[in-house]
């Protein structure tokens, strides 16, 4: 049963094997609890009506639609919940769209239980997993973002954030970067989380700008 | 109206090229035609209004005396025509056989038999008018004028009132006058006798028209209309045609095939020369009379020839022999009549022969030209020919008039018919010009259409080529992936199935499947765009390897440095590199028992170096023949990348080195399968 101060975890996943594996791994942790579970987009959206979880593990390819809809809704409805998307390859396309929709990271399906549990903990503590490919993608995305009025523009990457992304894209780990920049590994994690937020905001702004440009939105 | 219509059309079409038209072409044409008609109507109305007063509503108090007949006396005298006439003569003129002559009267008929030696002989004709104003006139006005619409002779004229000279003609005796009306103020207002003395060269004729005496205001309009019709209007025509000729001359200058334009220019110049004849009197101090006569007579003949040539050119009919005959005949005539050989009087007498020569030769061709125009359905051409043929009776009329067979009270008509001819020419030329503009516009459109069509074709071709290229690219990529799946994933999975069939341990099976997934991940990574950045590719490899290294407790030292971009880093090259490093690191993990791996990069133009060092058991390729297949794969892949690999024994462990070129050699042999 749910312990009072345990980490509440919600799962949106249609892959029964992965779902069961995750459920077992969570049950094995004394400070974690499976808060809710859903196996389709509709059930996922319904799940958001219930009490908020601390961490949501969401699959993107669902039988009745895209898990990204649930991710977007979760950011609105469960603002304090950290959303992770489940992915096999951690490839650019899936993860980037998920982050742009408000996810703060991804969970590799093939990594072992302990790694996944560690990732969940890290996310809850404000960290965000990142791969060199994604770092690279974010860098180029911020380089070529749409020109907008200055007051609406979300602050572009700070120098430090830029530096961190650069290092990650060259293959350095968080702790290596922390050592080189003489900051704590936690700070590096915070940077990455902030970068993700900016990416999501930028994506929203771009959507709005695009909409306005095409006359879909009124001022 | 011909001119009006032609310019209307001309402006209408030229406007198309200057400014966008606010209205439709029809509307614009109607507007311009309407405006033109209104303007012409207004001018006619004004003229009528101006003339109405003096001509029709003439004040009844004005007095005129018309002389339809005069007393006439002819004498053969010995007169020095170069000396001025006497200032005073007997009031009633010389004694002799005076008789009454009805005016216009040819006092001296033309015989065209010029005495070989006249020696000062002249024919002198006297005309006497008795002026009898009413007695009341003296109180009203003393402004009395004598008006003679035309006098014509090769000689001179003097006018006396009561024996006192009041006017005498000036200028050359041959060319001074046949066309200029005379209006003289008479000094005596009361009853008087007016005597006209006309001296004529022997063999040539002389005549006068009826005369008027009366108050100036009653006569001046007759004089004005006459002088306008006989002198001013032909002069204006000449100026107008000359200015058109100037324009056409420059067109002819710019266009190579513009003989018709040049003919028009010639005709305009000839007409102007001819018109000088009508603007007399000629002052011998300005132009030599003989040259003047030569120029005016020849210009008329040439005008006929040029007009005929124009018609031929327009109908595109060639009368080669006739053309030669006319042109060379005219050249001969021009030379023969030149003042170098003949006197002024002879030229004047020969003029008629030259005119007849031109007309008789050119006229028979007219039906042929007309037929040619009819075939071409050229309305304007036929109109031109009609004018040209109309010229014939007009010319006959003028000839007869010049030779006293027709009343000299008439007006010479050739100056009027010739501009009409010109206007038809001009109309035709304008139509040609407009047609040419239309043609140019159409060809532009055709060109544009063709250009567009070619553009479309080009785009299609490009599109097709692009598609073919894309297809080939896809096929190549598919083949690469197939080969990769076949060699890697496929064989590993087959192996796993065999293991499962033969009840291999779970760990081994799980490891095999993990290797399989790892292979697949590298394949996926190779498809991610890396923008020619090898470091990116290496970074991703590290990201993939980390869980395995961590599981085996091997520490990976990451010592990369920024590398120059490798433009040849396509997905297939990327996969080659990933597979090489995967094989090398897997070997280390499997066999070297190392605890530390160091991966570093260096730039060594013209290539880059990727180094993998471990601290495990030393390894040299030739010592481990059972790993032959993997090593062979590495060598083959490096070769496909135009790179090379090398192993060296380290202290401890092994140093692996992958060298890759920064620029790929232009023609790299397509690598075959290992």
The answer to whether the CB atoms of B558 and A173 lie below 8 A apart is yes
The answer to whether the CB atoms of A176 and B558 lie below 8 A apart is yes
Taking the Cβ of residue B548 and every Cβ of chain A, the question of whether any pair is shorter than 8 Å is answered with no
Q: What mean pLDDT do residues B268-276 have?
A: 87
Q: If phi over 0 gives left and psi between -120 and 50 gives alpha, with beta otherwise, what is residue B171? A: left
Residue of B528, B559, B565, B597 to mutate, testing the A interface (most A Cβ within 10 Å of its Cβ): B528
Q: In which band, very low, low, confident or very high, does the pLDDT at A214 lie, cut at 50, 70 and 90?
A: low
The answer to whether the CB atoms of B536 and A136 lie below 8 A apart is yes
CB pairs under 8 A between A and B: 51
pLDDT score recorded for residue B349 = 65
Q: Which residue has the higher pLDDT, B146 or B339?
A: B146
Shortest Cα distance, chain A CAs vs residue B543, angstroms: 7
CB nearest to A171's CB, from B528, B530, B560:
B560
Taking the Cβ of residue A132 and every Cβ of chain B, the question of whether any pair is shorter than 8 Å is answered with yes
Shortest Cα distance, chain A CAs vs residue B33, angstroms: 52
Taking the Cβ of residue A216 and every Cβ of chain B, the question of whether any pair is shorter than 8 Å is answered with no
- All domains in chain A, ordered by first residue: 7-124 (3.40.50.2300), 132-213 (1.10.10)
Mean of all residue pLDDT scores within chain B = 81
Which chain B residue has the Cα nearest residue A176?
A: B558
Judge whether residue B492 has pLDDT over 70: yes
CB nearest to A169's CB, from B521, B539, B547:
B539
pLDDT score recorded for residue A158 = 81
Judge whether residue A30 has pLDDT over 70: yes
Taking the Cβ of residue A180 and every Cβ of chain B, the question of whether any pair is shorter than 8 Å is answered with no
ipTM: 0.81
Question: Rounded to an integer, what distance in angstroms lies between the CA atom of residue B169 and that of residue B84?
Answer: 10
The token duo for A39 is 């196996």
Q: In which band, very low, low, confident or very high, does the pLDDT at B141 lie, cut at 50, 70 and 90?
A: low
pLDDT score recorded for residue B666 = 61
List all residues of chain A from 96 to 125 with a beta carbon under 8 Å from chain B: 110-112, 115
Q: Which CATH code for domain B530-661? A: 3.30.565.10
Q: What mean pLDDT do residues B627-648 have?
A: 84
Q: Which of A118, A100, A77 has the alpha carbon at shortest distance from B547?
A: A118
Judge whether residue B486 has pLDDT over 50: yes
Taking the Cβ of residue B250 and every Cβ of chain A, the question of whether any pair is shorter than 8 Å is answered with no
Q: In which band, very low, low, confident or very high, does the pLDDT at B479 lie, cut at 50, 70 and 90?
A: confident
Question: Rounded to an integer, what distance in angstroms lies between the CA atom of residue A55 and that of residue A35?
Answer: 9
The answer to whether the CB atoms of B540 and A170 lie below 8 A apart is no
What kind and span of H or E run contains B182? strand B182-186
Taking the Cβ of residue B513 and every Cβ of chain A, the question of whether any pair is shorter than 8 Å is answered with no
Question: Rounded to an integer, what distance in angstroms lies between the CA atom of residue B313 and that of residue B307?
Answer: 10
Judge whether residue B173 has pLDDT over 90: no
> What is the layout of strands, in order, in the sheet containing B654-661?
B555-559, B596-604, B607-614, B654-661, B644-649
Judge whether residue A11 has pLDDT over 90: yes
Q: What mean pLDDT do residues B612-617 have?
A: 88
Q: Which CATH code for domain B235-442? A: 1.20.1070
- How many degrees, rounded to 5, is the angle at CA B389 between CA B388 and CA B393? 115
Shortest Cα distance, chain A CAs vs residue B608, angstroms: 16
Angstrom distances, CA of residue B273 to CA of B172, B239, B268: 17, 11, 9
Q: What mean pLDDT do residues B437-461 have?
A: 91
Taking the Cβ of residue B539 and every Cβ of chain A, the question of whether any pair is shorter than 8 Å is answered with yes
DSSP state for residue A145 in the 8-state scheme: P
Q: Which of B462, B394, B391, B396 has the alpha carbon at shortest distance from B421?
A: B391
Q: What mean pLDDT do residues B366-394 have?
A: 80
Long-range contacts at B466-469 (CB < 8 A, ≥ 24 apart) = none
pLDDT score recorded for residue A150 = 44
What kind and span of H or E run contains B597? strand B596-604
Q: What is the pTM of this model?
A: 0.51
Residues of chain A found within 8 Å of residue B530, distances taken between Cβ atoms: 136
Residues of chain A found within 8 Å of residue B558, distances taken between Cβ atoms: 171-173, 176
Judge whether residue A152 has pLDDT over 50: no
Residues of chain B found within 8 Å of residue A171, distances taken between Cβ atoms: 535, 538-543, 558, 560
What CATH superfamily is the domain B64-225?
Galactose-binding domain-like (2.60.120.260)
Shortest Cα distance, chain B CAs vs residue A3, angstroms: 32
Residue of B519, B525, B546 to mutate, testing the A interface (most A Cβ within 10 Å of its Cβ): B525
Judge whether residue B669 has pLDDT over 50: no
Which region among A38-47, A177-186, B265-274, B331-340 has the lowest average model confidence (pLDDT)? B331-340
pLDDT score recorded for residue B428 = 78
pLDDT score recorded for residue B16 = 46
Judge whether residue B414 has pLDDT over 80: yes
CB nearest to A92's CB, from B528, B541, B558:
B528
CB B512 within 8 Å of CB B499: yes
Q: What mean pLDDT do residues B123-139 have?
A: 81
Which chain A residue has the Cα nearest residue B517?
A: A110
CB nearest to A91's CB, from B528, B539, B541:
B528
Which region among B301-310, B332-341, B645-654 has the lowest average model confidence (pLDDT)? B332-341
Taking the Cβ of residue B543 and every Cβ of chain A, the question of whether any pair is shorter than 8 Å is answered with yes
Q: Which residue has the higher pLDDT, A128 or A34?
A: A34
Q: What mean pLDDT do residues B105-112 have?
A: 76
pLDDT digits (tens, 9 = 90+) for B555-608: 999 989 888 888 888 888 888 898 899 888 888 888 888 889 999 999 988 889
Q: Which residue has the higher pLDDT, B484 or B243?
A: B243
The answer to whether the CB atoms of A171 and B543 lie below 8 A apart is yes
Residue of A133, A135, A138, A172 to mutate, testing the B interface (most B Cβ within 10 Å of its Cβ): A133
The token duo for A83 is 């959303």
Q: Which of A199, A192, A95, A193 has the alpha carbon at shortest distance from A154?
A: A199
Output the 3-class SS for B497-550.
Answer: HHHHHCCCCHHHHHHHHHHHHHHHHHHHHHHCCCCCCHHHHHHHHHHHHHHHHH
pLDDT score recorded for residue B176 = 65
pLDDT digits (tens, 9 = 90+) for B71-99: 888 888 777 777 788 888 888 888 888 88
Q: How many CB atoms lie within 10 A of CB B184?
A: 16
pLDDT score recorded for residue B627 = 56
Long-range contacts at B639-646 (CB < 8 A, ≥ 24 apart) = B639/B671, B640/B576, B640/B671, B641/B573, B641/B576, B641/B577, B642/B668, B643/B607, B645/B580
Judge whether residue B14 has pLDDT over 70: no
Q: In which band, very low, low, confident or very high, does the pLDDT at B113 lie, cut at 50, 70 and 90?
A: low
Residues in chain A: 219
Judge whether residue B423 has pLDDT over 60: yes
Question: Rounded to an integer, what distance in angstroms lies between the CA atom of residue B152 and that of residue B105?
Answer: 11
Q: Which of B257, B239, B545, B276 has the alpha carbon at shortest distance from B422?
A: B239
Q: What mean pLDDT do residues B523-538 have?
A: 82
Q: Which residue has the higher pLDDT, A107 or B487?
A: A107
Judge whether residue B57 has pLDDT over 70: no
CB B177 within 8 Å of CB B281: yes
Name the residue ranges covered by the structural domains of chain B: 1-58, 64-225, 235-442, 530-661
> What is the layout of strands, in order, in the sheet containing B211-215?
B64-67, B211-215, B144-148, B182-186
Shortest Cα distance, chain A CAs vs residue B579, angstroms: 17
Which chain B residue has the Cα nearest residue A112?
A: B547
Residues of chain B found within 8 Å of residue A179, distances taken between Cβ atoms: none
Q: Please, is B174 exposed, middle or buried when counting C-beta atoms within 10 Å of its C-beta (0-12, 13-18, 19+)?
A: buried
Q: In which band, very low, low, confident or very high, does the pLDDT at A97 lie, cut at 50, 70 and 90?
A: confident
């Amino acid at each position: 049963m749910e312990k009072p101060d345990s980490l509440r975890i919600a799962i949106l996943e249609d892959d029964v094997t992965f779902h069961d594996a995750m459920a077992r791994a969570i049950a094995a942790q004394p400070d974690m609890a499976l808060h809710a579970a859903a196996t389709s987009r509709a059930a996922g959206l319904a799940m958001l009506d219930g009490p908020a979880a601390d961490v949501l593990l969401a699959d993107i390819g669902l039988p009745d639609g895209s898990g990204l809809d649930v991710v977007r809704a979760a950011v609105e409805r469960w603002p304090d919940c950290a959303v992770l998307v489940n992915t096999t390859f951690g490839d650019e396309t899936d993860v980037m769209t998920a982050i742009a929709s408000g996810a703060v990271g991804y969970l590799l399906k093939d990594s072992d239980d302990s790694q996944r549990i560690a990732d969940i903990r890290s996310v809850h503590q404000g960290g965000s997993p990142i791969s060199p490919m994604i770092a690279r993608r974010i860098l180029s995305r911020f380089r070529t973002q749409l020109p907008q009025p200055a007051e609406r523009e979300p602050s572009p990457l700070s120098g430090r954030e830029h530096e961190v992304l650069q290092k990650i894209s060259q293959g350095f780990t968080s702790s290596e970067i922390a050592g080189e920049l003489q900051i704590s590994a936690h700070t590096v994690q915070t940077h990455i989380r902030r970068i993700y937020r900016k990416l999501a905001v930028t994506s929203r702004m771009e959507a709005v700008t695009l909409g306005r440009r095409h006359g879909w939105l009124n001022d | 109206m011909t001119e009006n219509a032609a310019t209307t059309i001309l402006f209408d079409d030229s406007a198309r090229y200057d400014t966008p038209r606010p209205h439709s072409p029809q509307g614009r044409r109607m507007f311009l035609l309407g405006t033109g008609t209104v303007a012409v109507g207004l001018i006619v109305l004004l003229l009528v209004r101006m003339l109405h007063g003096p001509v029709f509503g003439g004040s009844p108090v004005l007095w005129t005396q018309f002389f339809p007949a005069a007393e006439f006396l002819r004498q053969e005298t010995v007169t020095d025509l170069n000396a001025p006439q006497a200032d005073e003569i007997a009031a009633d003129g010389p004694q002799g056989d005076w008789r009454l002559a009805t005016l216009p009267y040819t006092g001296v008929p033309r015989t065209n038999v010029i005495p070989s030696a006249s020696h000062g002989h002249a024919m002198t004709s006297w005309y006497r008018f008795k002026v009898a104003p009413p007695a009341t006139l003296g109180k009203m006005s003393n402004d009395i004028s004598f008006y003679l619409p035309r006098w014509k002779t090769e000689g001179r004229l003097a006018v006396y009132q009561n024996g006192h000279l009041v006017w005498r003609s000036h200028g050359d005796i041959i060319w001074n006058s046949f066309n200029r009306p005379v209006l003289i103020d008479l000094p005596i207002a009361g009853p008087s006798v007016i005597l006209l003395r006309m001296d004529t060269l022997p063999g040539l004729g002389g005549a006068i028209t009826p005369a008027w005496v009366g108050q100036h205001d009653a006569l001046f309009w007759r004089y004005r209309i006459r002088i306008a019709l006989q002198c001013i209007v032909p002069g204006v025509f000449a100026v107008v045609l000359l200015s058109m000729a100037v324009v056409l001359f420059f067109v002819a200058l710019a266009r190579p095939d513009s003989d018709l334009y040049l003919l028009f220019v010639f005709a305009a110049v000839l007409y102007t020369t001819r018109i000088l004849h009508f603007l007399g009197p000629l002052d011998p101090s300005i132009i030599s009379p003989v040259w003047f006569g030569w120029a005016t007579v020849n210009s008329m003949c040439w005008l006929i020839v040029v007009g005929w040539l124009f018609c031929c050119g327009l109908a595109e009919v060639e009368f080669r022999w006739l053309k030669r005959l006319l042109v060379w005949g005219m050249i001969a005539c021009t030379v023969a009549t030149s003042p170098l050989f003949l006197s002024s009087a002879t030229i004047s007498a020969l003029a008629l022969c030259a005119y007849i020569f031109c007309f008789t030769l050119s006229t028979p061709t007219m039906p042929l030209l007309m037929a040619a125009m009819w075939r071409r359905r050229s309305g304007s051409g036929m109109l031109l020919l009609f004018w040209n043929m109309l010229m014939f009776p007009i010319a006959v009329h003028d000839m007869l008039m010049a030779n006293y067979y027709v009343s000299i009270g008439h007006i010479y008509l050739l100056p009027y018919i010739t501009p009409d001819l010109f206007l038809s020419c001009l109309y035709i030329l304008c139509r040609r010009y407009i047609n040419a503009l239309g043609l140019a516009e159409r060809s532009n459109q055709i060109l544009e259409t063709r250009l567009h069509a070619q553009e479309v074709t080009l785009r299609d071709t490009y599109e097709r080529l692009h598609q073919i290229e894309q297809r080939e690219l896809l096929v190549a990529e598919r083949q690469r992936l197939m080969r990769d799946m076949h060699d890697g994933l496929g064989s590993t999975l087959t192996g796993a199935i065999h293991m499962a069939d033969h009840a291999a341990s779970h760990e081994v099976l799980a490891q095999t499947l993990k290797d399989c997934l790892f292979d697949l991940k590298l394949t996926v990574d190779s498809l991610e765009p890396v923008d020619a950045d090898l470091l990116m590719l290496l970074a991703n490899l590290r990201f993939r390897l980390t869980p395995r290294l961590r599981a085996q407790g091997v520490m990976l030292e990451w010592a990369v440095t920024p590398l120059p971009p490798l433009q040849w880093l396509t997905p297939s090259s990327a996969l080659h590199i990933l597979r090489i490093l995967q094989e090398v690191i897997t070997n280390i993990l499997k066999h070297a028992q190392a605890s530390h791996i160091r991966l570093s990069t260096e730039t060594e133009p013209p290539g880059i170096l990727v180094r993998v060092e471990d601290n495990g058991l030393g390894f040299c390729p030739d010592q481990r023949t059972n790993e032959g297949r993997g090593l062979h794969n590495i060598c083959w892949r490096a070769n496909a990348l135009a790179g090379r690999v090398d192993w060296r024994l380290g202290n401890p462990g092994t140093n692996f080195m992958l060298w890759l070129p920064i620029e790929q050699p232009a023609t790299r042999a397509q690598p075959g399968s290992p």
